[in-house]
Structure 1
């Protein structure tokens, strides 16, 4: 019974993780701006955020958050605002005029994203996503076998989910970094930044407008 629960959890987790969302968009953008290290540190920030959600779930804090409408809305709107802010920043970078004043998509050296900033963006992106609270609070209890201690089982499942997420997003980062010479050409980089910025804004607005 325990083995079947673990396998079912791994299958559901893999499906959730590979579905693109805010964390994926932020990771891909940061891998483009900061290379492999930028993407991997973003993935690390996302994983640490998920570990926090898992620990909070084990303590019952997430259940209180989900049950409290004001707290849930505060997290939702803060997370949505952060995604919109990142999206606007990406659009500004994509369309910022070049040094020669020739307009958008002109050659201009891009400022490289630091590891600390990449980690922070990944962490805040995940902690500001209320779907993670709902996911951990509603899904994890379904995979806790009868007779198993809830705290340690919740935490173990959450850590497994976090490690799987890190592996997947790190693979994304490596793929983007390998194609970096092409993707970081000024015109292509700014096009991708524009598309990613629009996507982040759309995701933020969707999160803000979604019902539970």
Structure 2
């Protein structure tokens, strides 16, 4: 008790970390994108997608810390614009994966054999997909605006404490999604089979379409 009294901010931080961890490990769009990328494009592309996802979360966290995402909560027009941009983006990716799933990883393997910059083009595309999937989801911004204030104690610098909570969320997300990427490495031969690649693309496409529909029907409240 004495130690906690000496650190009045420890309990809010621990409570936030525990709650954020539950949200992080709950399967969702980030999980689907990470697994699909790592299994079909390799662990390097998987980590690139994770970095993009975490950067997207960090941007929304920064916006919440400095009040930028308050615009989404207050403006129906701003919320609707970002919402439909995200829904269309996820819908487009979902339809493309459903209609044109890859049947093998031959293209990526040929690039690696030719020594083309250790698969950097695929990693760059994976990073952009991870980043955009979060930046174009206004519910992430609203989540930060409504979730983080519950863990900010009185008499603190709100911006600095919000940035600390954002950093905790980003670290938790990177650790969990990075673990998922690592788990795909021992299963590389199985996951690179044509049947698994094709089914993984179609499964991910279906998940993206579901999240596109969910986002399109979302409201600010």
Same fold (TM over 0.5): yes
Task: Answer whether contact 1:183 1:189 (CA < 8 A) is retained.
Answer: yes
The separation in 1 between residues aligned to 2:185 and 2:33, in whole angstroms, is 14
The equivalent residue for 1:74 is: 81
Deviation track 1:107-140 (CA, whole Å, cap 9, x = no partner) reads 6734477111111000000111122111110011
Structure 1: gaps spanning 5 or more residues: 97-104
Paired residue secondary structure (2:106): coil
Distance 1:198 1:117, change over 3 A: same
The equivalent residue for 1:123 is: 131
TM-score (norm 2): 0.86
Task: Answer whether contact 1:22 1:83 (CA < 8 A) is retained.
Answer: no
Q: Which residue of 65, 71, 94 maps to 1:87?
A: 94
Task: Answer whether contact 1:88 1:197 (CA < 8 A) is retained.
Answer: yes
Structure 2: gaps spanning 5 or more residues: 1-7, 110-120
The separation in 2 between residues aligned to 1:179 and 1:200, in whole angstroms, is 24
The separation in 2 between residues aligned to 1:75 and 1:22, in whole angstroms, is 17
Q: Which residue of 155, 160, 165 maps to 2:173?
A: 165
Task: Answer whether contact 2:152 2:158 (CA < 8 A) is retained.
Answer: yes
TM-score (norm 1): 0.89
The equivalent residue for 2:147 is: 139
CA RMSD in angstroms comes to 1.7
The equivalent residue for 1:178 is: 186
The equivalent residue for 1:35 is: 42
**Which ranges of 4 or more aligned residues in structure 1 deviate by more than 3 Å?**
110-113
The equivalent residue for 1:57 is: 64
**Residue 202, structure 1, aligned to residue 199, structure 2:** no
The separation in 2 between residues aligned to 1:87 and 1:200, in whole angstroms, is 5
Paired residue secondary structure (1:210): coil
